[in-house]
Amino acid sequence: MSAPTGRQRRRDGDSDHQAEHITTIMDGALQRLGVRREVRNIQLQQVFASVVGPAAASMCQALSIDRGTLLVATRTGALAQQLQMEMPTVIAALNAQLGSDQVQRLRFTAMG
């Protein structure tokens, strides 16, 4: 039998549990610091830009999320219409990258 080392091997499910635990700790810490909403909005902006691609991302921006509704500012009404038609696909991609069902719908506004 070999002697135990300082490092133990993880079982398959342990890494998922550990990641969930870290997320819980980070979420609580961000909330205590009063920056959870800001951090979540920045994360959403980055994920949104990657989901819609560079061409569309240059003409729109995710602004904030409130009760599952992601507010998106667009430069043109045509882009808002296009994103509206692709809403189920966009929402599925956003939630897949975020790792949760945070986004339930999109709402559009004009970019200032």
Q: Give the tens place of pLDDT for each residue, 46-80.
A: 999 999 999 999 999 999 899 999 999 999 999 99
Q: What does the alpha-carbon distance between residue 19 and residue 17 come to, in Å, rounded to a whole number?
A: 5
Nearest to 80 by CA among 110, 42, 112, 48: 110
Rounded CA gap, 93 and 47, in Å? 9
pTM comes to: 0.70
The burial class, CB within 10 Å (0-12 / 13-18 / 19+), for 111 is: middle
What is the pLDDT of the chain when averaged over all its residues?
83
Would you say 60 and 73 are in contact if contact means Cβ atoms under 8 Å apart?
A: yes
Domains and CATH numbers, the chain: 38-110 (3.30.300.20)
Who has greater pLDDT, 17 or 55? 55
